[in-house]
Amino acid sequence: MEMYKFILRIFHEYGDPRHFSALFFLKEKQDIISDIEQIVFDPKILIYKTLKNFNFNYMVKNVTSLFRSISSYEMDAVNIVGMAPLHYFVHYFQRLNLKKKPIIYFTSWPYWNFEKRYGYWVHEYPLDLRKPWISFLKKVDATVCVTKASYKALKRYSRNCFWIPHSVDTTLFKSREKSKEHDLIVVLFVGRLSEEKGVLELIDVAKKIKSYRKNIEFWFVGQGPLGNYLGKLKDQLPIRCLGHIDNTILPKVYQEADILILPSKRKRKWEELFGIVLIEAMSCSLPVIASNHVGPREIITHGYDGFLIQSDPNLDRIGFVKEIIDYICLLTENIDLRREIGRRGRRKVEQLYDIRVVAEKWWKVLERVVTLKR
């Protein structure tokens, strides 16, 4: 059956554009998506962003889009819903289901045992949301899972469940063309400057390593609550704070670095569910070091194309810091190992995470959903 053109509506809470880069790529390459509309639906996020930027047009735009999507009956729209588990807005998206509009649920959350894992969540909500959530998962037209762990957990509920990871454009994120002209080893961190991202532990690494490794420097890219604290330490420790860097410039920063580190700390309701910075760094042929969370351990083959930190900083902070130092020193001392791990990582990204590969996966899911609704 011939595909018809449709609008793609992406409903999300925060809206990192990198999560949907393959869909924007697909829009440019295939003449089936007439437009992509991103809609923030969470009231708290809407109010926060409106007041933070003093931009009331932002609120009006998103609220208007929400009402229009539920009230109209157009059949030339496909809805992608990125919603945290047990979010009360499930009732809104069930109404979209009732109007027979194509819905794809999009998630990276891997824990879907409603009886066990969510026991501590139920008390934080005025209503029991487990039943409407199970109903929602069973009725959506497709479920797209960012990790294989979430795919394995959700295929029991969804009739059409697919694994589609996040992506990176390997033509932009590529290896540096020339060798470095200095001996400085740059250990790069890219992400939110916060406790859960392991920034404090990385500061401890810098403190300990500077006494016997004079050629290692730590670069921090990003913003967050620990940004000011890091800024005060830059004259005492071998660190550089680069702040926010636009995605168009980010590949050049990776190309200046030698190692990427993602030392995330598991929290009560959060762990590193993917780690886009890992595939960006690997695409640039950087060896990566990351915490052994559900996302990184799917991306990294330990000891082959990166290293997984086995220690838990919540239980053994000293061991966690020591393990990071050991991996950094190993890669610093062995340039051949550093290069070989980087090459292996690049090959993996080209095969699994390149934006063209991931866009093709999305195309097949969209084709299936649209065909089913015709």
User: DSSP of 256-318, one letter per residue?
Assistant: H-SEEEE----BTTB--S--HHHHHHHHTT--EEEE--TTHHHH--BTTTBEEE-S-TTT-HH
Does a structural domain hold residue 272? yes
- Asked if residue 338 and residue 196 are part of one domain, the reply reads yes
pLDDT in tens, 351-374: 999 999 999 999 999 999 988 766
Does a structural domain hold residue 178? no
Model pLDDT, residue 117 = 47
- Asked if residue 20 and residue 153 are part of one domain, the reply reads yes
pLDDT-derived band at 288 (thresholds 50, 70, 90) equals very high
- Asked if residue 202 and residue 140 are part of one domain, the reply reads no
Does a structural domain hold residue 177? no
Q: What is the pTM of this model?
A: 0.91
- Asked if residue 189 and residue 163 are part of one domain, the reply reads no
- Asked if residue 196 and residue 272 are part of one domain, the reply reads yes
Q: Is the pLDDT of residue 181 over 70?
A: no
Query: Could you list the residue range(s) of the whole structural domain that residue 361 is in?
Result: 6-167+354-373
- Asked if residue 347 and residue 211 are part of one domain, the reply reads yes
Domain CATH number, residue 246:
3.40.50.2000
- Asked if residue 194 and residue 138 are part of one domain, the reply reads no
Model pLDDT, residue 119 = 45
- Asked if residue 282 and residue 161 are part of one domain, the reply reads no
- Asked if residue 142 and residue 24 are part of one domain, the reply reads yes
Does a structural domain hold residue 70? yes
- Asked if residue 315 and residue 233 are part of one domain, the reply reads yes
Cα dist from 370 to 33, 102, 121, 330, whole Å: 12, 7, 35, 51
Query: Could you give the number of structural domains in the chain?
Result: 2
- Asked if residue 206 and residue 156 are part of one domain, the reply reads no
Q: Is the pLDDT of residue 15 over 80?
A: no
Does a structural domain hold residue 179? no
Distance from the first to the final alpha carbon of the chain: 9
